Amino acid sequence: MGRPGTRKLAVLAVSAALVTVGAAAPPGAGGERPAKTPVAVGYGGAVASVDADATAAGIEVLREGGNAVDAAVATAAALGVTEPYSAGVGGGGFFVYYDAKSRTVHTIDGRETAPLTADSQLFVEDGKPLSFADAVTSGLSVGTPGTPATWQTALDQWGSRRLGTVLKPAERIARHGFTVDDTFRSQTASNETRFRYFPDTAKLFLPGGHLPAVGSTFKNPELARTYEELARKGMGAIYHGDLGRDIVATVNKPPVDPASGWNARPGKLSAQDLTAYRAKLQRPTETSYRGLKVYSIAPSSSGGTTVGEALNIMEDTPLSRVSETQYLHHFIEASRIAFADRGRWVGDPAFEDVPTRQLLSQRFADSRACLVRDDAVLTSPLAPGDPRHPAACRSGGTAAPTTYEGQHTTHLTVADKWGNVVSYTLTIEQTGGSGMTVPGRGFLLNNELTDFSFTPANPAVHDPNLPGPGKRPRSSISPTIVLDRHNRPVVALGSPGGATIITTVLQVLTEFVDRHLPLVDAIAAPRASQRNAARTELEPALYDSALRGRLEAIGHSFTVNPEIGAATGVQRLPDGKWLAAAERVRRGGGSAMVVDPAP
């Protein structure tokens, strides 16, 4: 099989016409705002994210000689300014890195952890599980932040610049401001009610008591000072210092407006939780698909195992030759099966016996793939299989539904001139996280602990995702890097979107590898998401198409989802060129840039 990057050379001409990064001013420098374009081709490295200022921050670091890891941290820090409802130092994430010199892939699990005093009853009150709304906007939902430790660990392991250096672009954006767009205003509006519960949050994100106007400049001097402090003191300021003490105080005594009437339940985070936190260096998951090597993140995220299992299930189906109807049918069924197995087997491996190797075995996938028929649909919720004892075409045990995860994370993808690559997804969980801003510090705290099951998803079967002391809630984050048989990068990608992250990454990969779409078109293609539910979610372009009727004729049922995911990716091209790709429309469109645009 030839490299996917050589199949659709026409994309290069389209990409060159769209590139405008060459004359972009540094982010937050008071000059012309960088252009927001979905695809760019050129030399010297590439960055793709949802935001033009953040992408430009990464490009600035690459242009000044930094490597992909330096640029990834710079981009992530800038997203903490411009995408504060999706990411920031109050959250966590998963970092996947390809080292060009050794041609190896490494990962960091920077997931938040539950307090050391937490138990399985964390979200149970008076014998009943809390409602999601009551749990989210409270101290109970806040896990020990992992993002600061992830940045420091990545820089210590593979970076070439100091933390203070890579934080400078983000600090500048926070100080001088960025331009409010429709997405930022609408996300603020959707959180307005609960933001008003907390005076510090309202003061920051509802300036003058009003929603920020589209086209206005939004500044965050408190976050600029926080980044300054981190640059001087390092991440010890969070895990051992005053900044950490402010986080603990906010969680344990939520600074709620008494007049709001909101019961912001206190959490139980302690200084010991911060001191004990570690970002974990661990082996990636690895799956072979169509002669390529697909690497992603291992548990505590279910992303690598679930994407990998679904790819293995589809391995023997010639997706490049079947009709669009059969392609989507097999994609949906593979997703359904993989999610059934995820729900039963994947949790934090420090607490649960997760059969990662067996979940990714072709033998187990084959035992599950034989359930799929061309002319019929499996019933959800589907019972899981047993990866340790695969039995052909047989499910065992009791089905468990997929728990809810927040939709608005963010993803960035970076490559440098040496060939190093980063795929990094970071989050504070749902849009706006817990809703609580750390007073005087300029950032929101996560609500990541609501990714735990509040009570067993099914009382008849062990739930590996219940809370526990110091436990990491299961994630769906799926940052992915694909290598060829010579261990050289082919493509790297990822997406936000809660549990839809898995199906988004899976669909973009198969559209790119099997359906031969250019990367930017694979990212833009309308999406489906099946997560072991009775109905499959479709974006409007699929829901309103003739394909929906043809799939319903097989037996599928659908519901509409206005928007699924917001992916970014980079692709290695011949002659040292990189292609960066982002969304055309979702989340207001993404931003792809290269250091030196190709003519």
Q: Which residues are catalytic?
A: 409
Distance CA 531, CA 394 (A): 19
| String of DSSP letters for 554-583 | HT--EEE-S-----EEEEE-GGG-EEEE--
Question: 190 near 425, Cβ under 8 Å?
Answer: no
Which amino acid would we find at residue 446?
N
Distance CA 444, CA 91 (A): 8
518 class by beta-carbon count within 10 Å (0-12 exposed, 13-18 middle, 19+ buried): buried
Distance CA 500, CA 111 (A): 18
Distance CA 79, CA 57 (A): 9
Of 456, 491, 506, 512, residue with least CA distance to 580: 491
- According to DSSP, the β-strands at 558-560 and 536-538 are parallel
Question: 482 near 356, Cβ under 8 Å?
Answer: no
3-state helix, strand, coil in the chain (%, to 5): 40, 15, 45
- Give, in order, the Cα–Cα distances in Å from 568 to each of 107, 491, 505: 18, 11, 10
What are the helix (H) ranges across 29-162?
52-63, 68-82, 132-136, 147-158
| String of DSSP letters for 37-54 | -SEEEEEEEEEEES-HHH
Query: Strand, coil or helix: what is 549?
Result: helix
Question: 146 near 112, Cβ under 8 Å?
Answer: yes
Tokens of 533: 């539910």
Question: 87 near 80, Cβ under 8 Å?
Answer: yes
Cis omega (within 30 of 0) for bond into 381 = yes
Residue 207, Cα to own-chain centre: how many angstroms? Answer: 29
Distance CA 246, CA 223 (A): 14
